[in-house]
Amino acid sequence: MIKRPRQLPAILLVVLTSAVGTAARSSIDGQTYSNTDYGFQVTAPAGWSIEQNIGAALVLLQSPDGEVAFRVFIDLMSSLDTPADHREKAKGRYGIRGRETTVQELIEEWEGQSPEYLPLPGAYRGEEEPVGELDHEALPPEGGEDEGGDGAETGMDDPTGEAGGEPMETVVEGDAMEVADGSFADADPDAGEVIIEEMTVMEGLIALQQTTGVPYKDAAARELESEQVEEQTEQLDDLAAVLRELAASEPRLTTYDHSVTDPTSGATTNTRHIVCYLLRNTVGYTIQASVPKERFRHHLRDLIAVFTSMRIPALEGGRYGRADAIEMDPQTTGVITGRVLIRGTAVPGATVALYRTRDDYISREPYKTTTSNFIGEFQLVGVPPGTYFLLEADAELGEERLGTFQPLLDVKVRRGFASFVNLELERVE
C-alpha cells in the first residue's frame, strides 16, 4: 500500500476483479502442490498421493492407507461477503455436515485426562496396530489425579507427560535407540540421526489448533474471555456486530462428526472432519480433512504436518489475491488510492466515486468509480492530471446505509504521482 504521494516508476498496478479467468495454474513438485493463481501451497507427508482438480476440489491429498482425505476448495466470493457468509456457503456447497464443534472444545475434553501418547510419525502400513507406536503406562502424576488446565498438569511442558513423577517406560519397535534427552534416534548410521518426538493427544490437539494461528486457551483464559464477551455484548449495536464480523478474518478451524448407517448391512461409519475456513480478499478457502473417527488420533501427527505446511497469501500474491494487472503510463496519468473505513475497520464492497465538477456531482454522474476490496482498499488508476471536485464513498452493511463523513473536495491529481487518501464512513439517517 502506498503511504504518501511519490513518483511512480513504469510499473504494473493491480486491481481487484471477481471474474473467474482461465483454469488455475498449478503444479506438483515432489510432495508439494502449488497454485500460482491463488498463491496457495500445501505439502503432503511422504508416501501420500496428490491429485489435482478432483471433483470440486482444487487438490486432493490422500494417505497411503486411504483413510485420510485432505481436500482444498476455492471460491470467489462477493466483495460484501463476510467470513460467516463464506462458512455457510461452503457447508452447503461441499456437503459439510454433522455435529459441529471446535478443536478448542476437543482440547477441553482432554483436560484432566492421563497423558495418552500418539503413534510415531508415518506409522501406518495397514496393520491392526501402527508400527513403532509408543507403549506408555500413562500413570497419573504424583499427588493424585491430573486436574488439567495448564501446561504442567496436562504434560504440555513435560515431554514425558508426568509432571513431578518418574519418567514412563517407553518401548519402540524397529531400529531406534534412546538418547540422552529421553527422545529416540534411528540406530541406523547410514540413515542419519532421526529424532522421534513424543507427543500426547492433548499436545497434538493444541498443535493442530495453532496451525491456523489460534492460540490455546486454558481454563483461566476462557473464563476471562467469557466475562469480556458478556460486557461487549451489552454494548454491541447492529452496526458494531457487522463490523466485528468483518474484522474477524482469521482462519476458523472447526470439526464435524458425521455418522452414516448402511440400510442394507446396518453397519455405521463414523467420520470426523477437520475444516479450516479462511477468507482473503474475495477468495474463500475451505480446507477439509476427513478421517475415520476412531482413527483420528492415529493420524493426528500427519494432519498437523499438512495444516502446518499450507501457505496462503495474506493480502497479495496470485491472480485472485489481487487479480489482473493493467498498465499505466506514469508520464500521462496519475493514481488515487486508499482505504474505506468506519470506526477504523475496513469496509469491503464500498463504491468509491470521483466527480470532475459540481454539476456532475449534482446530477450523480461520476467521472470514475471503483469498489473497495475485502480489506477496504481501492484504486482509481489512469486518472488524467487536474483538480477534481469531489471524492466520496458509500456502502451498505447489513441493514445499515453508510455515506462519507467528510467527502474530499478539490482532489488534485498529478502526472506520474499516486495520492493516498482514507475515506471515513458514517451512518446515513
Residue 6 pLDDT level (bands cut at 50, 70, 90):
very low
Are both 92 and 207 inside the same structural domain? yes
Provide the sign of the torsion angle of the four alpha carbons 359, 365, 367, 368, taken in this order: positive
Which residues constitute the domain of residue 352? 6-12+323-427
Residue 358 belongs to some domain of the structure: yes
In a domain? residue 47? yes
User: Are residues 360 and 423 both part of a single domain?
Assistant: yes
Average pLDDT, the chain: 74
Whether residues 276 and 338 share a domain: the answer is no
Question: In this predicted structure, what is the pLDDT of residue 247?
Answer: 67
Task: Place 293 in a pLDDT band, splitting at 50, 70 and 90.
Answer: very high
Together in a domain, 304 and 340:
no
The answer on pLDDT for 386 being more than 50 is: yes
pLDDT > 90 fraction of the chain, expressed in percent and rounded: 30
What is the SS3 assignment for 387? strand
Q: Between 23 and 359, where is the model more confident?
A: 359
Q: What digits encode the pLDDT tens for the residues 170-212? A: 444 444 444 444 444 555 555 555 455 688 898 999 999 888 8
Residue 19 lies in a domain: no
User: What gap in Å lies between CA 295 and CA 68, rounded to an integer?
Assistant: 9
Give residue 389's pLDDT.
Answer: 95
Q: What is the pTM of this model?
A: 0.61
CATH number of the domain bearing residue 73 = 3.40.1000.10
Model confidence over 40-54: pLDDT tens digits? 889 999 999 999 988
Query: What is the tens place of the pLDDT at every residue in 92-151?
Result: 999 999 999 999 999 988 888 888 888 876 554 444 444 344 444 443 443 334 433 444
- Residue 80 has what pLDDT? 65
Please check whether residues 327 and 391 belong to one and the same domain: yes
| Positive or negative torsion for Cα 14, 17, 22, 26 | positive
How would DSSP label each residue in 152-177?
A: HHHTSS-TTS-TTSPPPP----SSEE
Residue 219 falls inside a structural domain: no
Same domain, 408 and 264: no
CATH of the domain at 337: 2.60.40.10
Domain identity same for 304 and 386: no
Chain centroid, CA 313 distance in Å: 10
Does 298 score more than 80 pLDDT? yes
Q: Please indicate, yes or no, whether residues 69 and 208 belong to a single structural domain of this protein.
A: yes
The answer to whether residue 86 is domain-embedded is yes
* Mean pLDDT of the region 22-50: 84
Please check whether residue 400 is in contact with residue 242, taking contact to mean a CB–CB distance below 8 angstroms: yes
Same domain, 300 and 344: no
In this structure, the answer to whether residues 340 and 271 fall within a common structural domain is no
Pick 376 or 321 by higher pLDDT: 376
**Count of domains observed in the chain:** 2
Q: Is position 356 within any domain?
A: yes
Considering the domain architecture, whether residues 305 and 329 belong to the same structural domain is answered as: no
Question: Rounded distance, CA 71 to CA 217, Å?
Answer: 28
The contacts of residue 9 (CB under 8 Å, 6+ apart) are 330
What pLDDT sits at residue 115? 86
